[in-house]
């Protein structure tokens, strides 16, 4: 990279590095110039910089600021901040490779952003398409581009020149993007060899700076996420600083594939999806059984915490949703019905129904807090391109609750919610992180109300010793919120529980209670879920446990296997005994070898298998086999019943028989 020549009269600025050391440099030097001034080795190692909080190319000149001070961090490829830079660059390298292979006249490029753990590029190939068989060819071409080590340079063009260049090269999607840019925004491009792409950057200084990458998959993606737009092809890929990190991530992906709930769900007879109701799962008997166990546990904990359970209609008049504010803020995600010249909406949320119940009678302060909970089925329209098994659906069940409280009860009730979340998540061994989201731009209410609500959430988190981070501007339109992100066995995080403090709904619905002064006052409302969506949480559990659900959730807890047909009567007798003890039991009386049946039961992830043969009938004992393949001979059946029932009562994650 060329070092900029700077006149000796240039203004001096102070550069502050992350360790708070300071050095004087001439203004207009680039981050690369500064790295080179420090050492040749550093100049070779750096790939980008963070300049006054913004990630930039190494070639970005450091301009004068108000106090003549520049904060600068030089980024090496091993740094966390480097991932966005080299993945973004590799997206361009991938686009260049596709353009070379399919021809510049046939390729129209969409967008190529970085995402968690990788990047993608949306591409249109005219009169053809990219196939899975093309991915190795694209990788090979990318390696050629990397080996060539083309320098990467940034340049800007006036709007009309930028539009003309993209139109002449047939990049109509880029033309659309440029037209949507604000008039004041600089229109920048990046060039490597003969390939030019519209981009804000930043990028690596050359294509040879990173080599550890892998193309992962192909998918369809509507342009700009709109199903009325053309369908492009999205190539997903990943990249890391070195081969070791890449290999580790590829192993993680393989493990994640084995745990994919979309595969395990049908395999374990838990649920299916069907085009007859796209995005709306069908739960088979075993899946319904498992969900009922989750619901039973939830009901037990909520009853102990002082909640009452209610049920509200699925369809309510659209005037209700106008009053709640959902009409203005959420209409595009709702389903509507017209009947008898009346307009109704399928509920996307449960809160207005709970408010109607609250308003049925005059409420005294003595009745508060009123903790109202529901397994409420809701429907929200999601575009088909984002539907994803149980994780992104159009119909789901919220474990919803609304707490109606006085101002004095805000902090105590929020503390109760946080403790209940913690108690339930510990059942599954989940660690979690907490995020406090503040007022968004599109919101309701006064700043004073938002400040009071936000402070209440902060006090509750501090009172419970909960560590949290601030997510500025990501609150609900009616109030700030706390989100809980659980971490699964693969280290992935999932946002499930949420707790939202709301002063707006009580105002919009004119909710009141009679206080101790015999005057009407406005209650405060807490919206909260813990599992979030019952369906999504179930999908997370399937992947977290790789289908091997704990015995208390497992739809079938015990499979009894006769060695021969003559043992079937004894098997049926034992089945009745276990069912009488409250266990969920199946038998496999097929004329198959017992080892085959054991293997089948293990594939179905059944926690316990009992094998019955001549010896077991003679001794009155059982042979027990765990899905971990551990075997226990000559076990007393009553001992087994006692221990497994204790395991279920304790919501245990590990079988007590593993220690026997």
Question: In the 8-state DSSP scheme, what is residue 225?
Answer: G
* CA proximity to 644, closest of 558, 548, 545: 558
Q: Which one of the listed residues 211, 402, 567, 575 is annotated catalytic?
A: 402
CB–CB of 377/394 below 8 Å? no
> Is 400 one of the catalytic residues?
yes
> Is 481 one of the catalytic residues?
yes
> Is 398 one of the catalytic residues?
yes
Q: Which one of the listed residues 77, 286, 481, 528 is annotated catalytic?
A: 481
**How far is the C-alpha of 168 from the C-alpha of 34, rounded, in Å?**
39
Q: Looking up tokens 């973004």, which residue turns up? A: 88
Angle at 152 between CA 190 and CA 142, to 5 degrees: 95
Query: If DSSP codes are grouped into helix, strand and coil, which group holds residue 302?
Result: helix
The Cα diameter of the chain in Å comes to 102
> Is 380 one of the catalytic residues?
yes
Question: In the 8-state DSSP scheme, what is residue 61?
Answer: B
**How far is the C-alpha of 297 from the C-alpha of 653, rounded, in Å?**
14
**How far is the C-alpha of 417 from the C-alpha of 405, rounded, in Å?**
13
CB–CB of 85/114 below 8 Å? no
Q: Which one of the listed residues 527, 528, 604, 605 is annotated catalytic?
A: 527
Distances (CA, A) of 648 to 303, 367, 454, 550: 19, 36, 39, 9
Residues 568, 574, 580, 584: what is their CA dihedral angle, to the nearest 10 degrees?
A: -70
Return the number of other C-beta atoms located less than 10 Å from residue 524's C-beta. Answer: 27
> Is 402 one of the catalytic residues?
yes
| Half-sphere exposure for 82 (CA within 13 Å, toward CB) | 18
**How far is the C-alpha of 579 from the C-alpha of 571, rounded, in Å?**
12
Q: Which one of the listed residues 88, 380, 439, 528 is annotated catalytic?
A: 380
Within 395-457, strands assigned E span 395-405, 431-437
**How far is the C-alpha of 389 from the C-alpha of 127, rounded, in Å?**
31
CA 298 to chain centroid = 22
**How far is the C-alpha of 400 from the C-alpha of 532, rounded, in Å?**
8
CB–CB of 398/533 below 8 Å? yes
Q: Which one of the listed residues 400, 483, 502, 588 is annotated catalytic?
A: 400
For the annotated catalytic residues, the residue numbers are 351, 380, 398, 400, 402, 481, 527
């Amino acid at each position: 990279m060329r070092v900029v020549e700077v006149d000796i009269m240039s203004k001096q600025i102070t550069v502050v590095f992350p360790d708070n050391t300071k050095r004087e440099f001439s203004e207009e030097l680039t981050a690369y110039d500064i790295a080179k001034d420090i050492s040749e080795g550093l100049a070779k190692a750096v790939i980008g910089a963070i300049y006054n909080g913004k990630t930039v190319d190494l070639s970005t000149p450091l301009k004068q600021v108000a106090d003549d001070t520049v904060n600068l961090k030089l980024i090496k490829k091993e740094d966390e901040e480097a991932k966005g830079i080299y993945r973004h660059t590799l997206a361009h390298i991938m686009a260049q490779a596709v353009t070379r292979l399919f021809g510049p006249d046939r390729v129209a490029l969409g967008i190529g952003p970085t995402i968690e753990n990788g990047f993608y590029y949306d591409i249109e190939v005219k009169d053809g398409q990219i196939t899975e068989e093309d991915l190795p060819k694209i990788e090979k071409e990318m390696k050629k581009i990397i080996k060539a080590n083309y320098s990467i340079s940034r340049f800007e063009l006036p709007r009309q020149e930028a539009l003309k260049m993209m139109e002449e090269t047939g990049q109509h999607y880029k033309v659309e993007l440029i037209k949507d840019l604000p008039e004041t925004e600089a229109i920048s491009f990046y060039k490597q060899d003969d390939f030019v792409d519209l981009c804000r950057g930043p990028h690596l200084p050359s294509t040879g700076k990173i080599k550890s990458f892998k193309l992962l998959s192909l998918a369809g993606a509507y342009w700009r996420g709109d199903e009325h737009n053309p369908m492009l092809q999205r190539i997903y890929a990943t990249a890391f600083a070195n081969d070791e990190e890449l290999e580790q991530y590829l192993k993680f992906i393989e493990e994640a594939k084995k745990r994919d709930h979309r595969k395990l769900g049908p395999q374990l007879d838990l649920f299916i999806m069907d085009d007859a109701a796209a995005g709306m799962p069908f739960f088979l008997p075993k899946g319904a059984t498992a969900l009922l166990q989750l619901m039973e546990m939830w009901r037990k904990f909520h009853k102990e915490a002082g909640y009452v359970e209610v049920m509200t209609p699925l369809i309510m008049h659209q005037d209700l949703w106008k009053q709640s504010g959902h009409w203005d803020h959420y209409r595009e995600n709702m389903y509507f019905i017209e009947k008898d010249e009346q307009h109704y909406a399928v509920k996307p949320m449960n809160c207005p129904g709970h408010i109607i119940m609250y308003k049925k009678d005059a409420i005294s302060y003595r009745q508060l807090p009123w903790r109202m909970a529901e397994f409420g089925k809701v429907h929200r329209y999601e575009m088909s391109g984002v539907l994803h098994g149980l994780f992104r659906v159009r119909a789901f069940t919220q474990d919803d609750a609304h707490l109606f409280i006085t101002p004095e009860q805000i902090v105590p009730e929020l503390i109760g919610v946080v403790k209940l979340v913690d108690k339930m998540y510990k059942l599954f061994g989940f660690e979690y992180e907490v995020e406090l989201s503040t007022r968004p731009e599109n919101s309701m209410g006064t700043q004073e109300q938002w400040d009071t609500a936000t402070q209440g959430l902060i006090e509750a988190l501090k009172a419970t010793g909960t560590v949290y981070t601030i997510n500025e501007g990501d609150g609900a339109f009616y109030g700030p919120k706390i989100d809980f992100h659980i971490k699964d066995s693969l280290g992935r995080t999932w946002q499930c529980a949420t707790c939202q403090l709301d002063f707006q709904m009580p105002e919009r619905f004119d909710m009141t209670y009679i206080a101790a002064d015999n005057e009407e006052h406005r209650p405060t409302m807490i919206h909260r879920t813990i599992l979030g969506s019952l369906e999504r949480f179930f999908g997370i559990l399937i992947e977290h446990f790789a289908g091997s659900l704990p015995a208390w959730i497992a739809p079938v807890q015990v499979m009894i296997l006769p060695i021969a047909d003559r043992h079937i009567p004894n098997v049926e007798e034992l089945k009745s005994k276990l069912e009488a003890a409250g266990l969920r039991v199946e038998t496999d009386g097929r004329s198959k070898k017992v080892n085959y049946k054991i293997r089948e039961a293990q594939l179905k992830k059944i926690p316990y298998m009992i094998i019955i043969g001549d010896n077991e009938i003679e001794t009155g004992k059982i042979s027990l086999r765990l899905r971990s393949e551990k075997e226990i001979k000559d076990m007393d059946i009553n001992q087994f019943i006692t221990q497994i029932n204790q395991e279920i009562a304790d919501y245990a994650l590990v079988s007590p028989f593993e220690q026997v």
